[in-house]
Amino acid sequence: MHLELNDEELAFRDQVREFLRTKLPKSISRKVLEGEDLNRDDMVTWQRVLAAQGWGGVGWPKQFGGPGWTPMQMHIFDEESALLGGPRLNPFGLRMVAPVIMAFGNPQQQQRYLPKIASGEEWWCQGYSEPGAGSDLASLKTRAVRDGDSYVVTGQKTWNTLGQFADWIFCLVRTDPQAKMQEGISFLLINMKSPGVTIRPIKLLDGSVEVNDIFFDQVRVPIENRIGDENRGWTYAKFLLGHERTNIAGVGIAKRELARLKRIARDERKNGKPLLDDPLFAARVAQVEVDLMALELTTLRTISMEKNKRAPGPEASVLKVRGTEIQQAISELTMLAMGPYALPWRREAMEAGYQVDPDAEVGPHYASTAAARYLNLRKLSIFGGTNEIQKNIISKMMVGL
């Protein structure tokens, strides 16, 4: 199957490729292509390169400072960037809170926050999940009590991604404990440097510190930092989650990793032949590739809804489920292709610059990150709403069960 691009889209693709070849720092693309961790400086550097090109607000309309790309152009950019080693852009500002601010924020909020998101000047994170409110998000307990021109926020958020780098966090808070669960929630923007905000890192299975607990102890938040109406936050949250789940699909990243898997499987040998010639292994690779093709078409149909000012609906749940399953399947096959070379390496040694003895048969360098990536990607089926919950949404809203 091949998607045909028209002349305008082909010209845009060539423009993106040339930009990536000339402007994407090689030190950053090497890390991405070899599966190494990026630090905050890497991600901010890339965001600023995009901003200098006028592409800082990727996917944003021109009226808010974006390039005004079509959904197809956005898809092309994501795919080309992934294939050439462009970092996955921090989604919390660009693709999650920014669309909410555009749709429901007032002009002052749009002017205050959007330019600094696009420029990379301010880093955002998300405050949704709590220890007792993950998939059942509407049961959240973090309170925001009105006190004059401010809210006083008290509570805890968990599984907060990259909050240790963030300048701002967008939060769901309970402003009316007497109302029905979904009807007493508001959407607040909170400065992470506010007195009373505490960050506690959580070490993940792969040894990384990617997520955090965030504690709010009598944190004062100005009323003007509330998006939209009080107690209407659930509406804005559902709008945001549609964008998050669409983004998690990661078609471009999956294509890059699938191509990498094929290269590895051609190099690795089984009974003297390339592993990709093994019928059973080749069949598993082919199945993933077919699934990825179907996901791409579904993604294009879903993102085209934005053309008509329609936020992604239950279709985003389909993308979330299949996209995460495909990325996990590719990482598993990559581990299998590497064999014993994919055994875990200690992250502390890698970060300290551990050098492999050139005479030791420890395998190719790219294998050193395979286990960590495999372990890290187990989270995909949990965050953004567990896949089990997404299947419930699909059955109720699309199938009618």
Whether 44 contacts 51, CB under 8 Å: no
The residue written with tokens 């209407």 in the block is 232
Could you give the CA distance from residue 180 to residue 173 in angstroms, rounded to a whole number?
Answer: 14
Residues whose CB falls within 8 Å of the CB of residue 64, separated by 6 or more in sequence, listed in order: 57, 98, 102, 110, 114
Q: State the DSSP code for 399.
A: I
Residue whose structure tokens are 């965001």: 47
How many CB atoms are located within 10 Å of the residue 378 CB?
A: 15
244 is catalytic: yes
Q: Which two tokens stand for residue 231?
A: 């107690």
Which residues touch 191 (CB under 8 Å, ≥6 apart)? Answer: 167, 168, 197
**Among positive and negative, which fits the CA dihedral 210, 213, 219, 225?**
positive
* From 244, 268, 296, 315, the catalytic residue: 244
Using CA atoms of 99, 139, 127, 378 in order, give the dihedral in degrees to the nearest 10. Answer: -100
- In terms of DSSP bridges, do strands 273-274 and 209-222 run parallel, antiparallel, or are they unpaired? unpaired
Contact 156, 213 (CB under 8 A): yes
State the CB neighbour count (10 A cutoff) for residue 343. 14
Decide: helix, strand or coil at residue 392.
Answer: helix
Q: How far apart are CA 172 and CA 187, in angstroms?
A: 5
CB 235 within 8 A of CB 246: no
- Angle CA 320–97–173, to nearest 5: 95
Alpha-carbon torsion, ordered 108, 109, 111, 112, to 10 deg: 110
Catalytic residues: 244
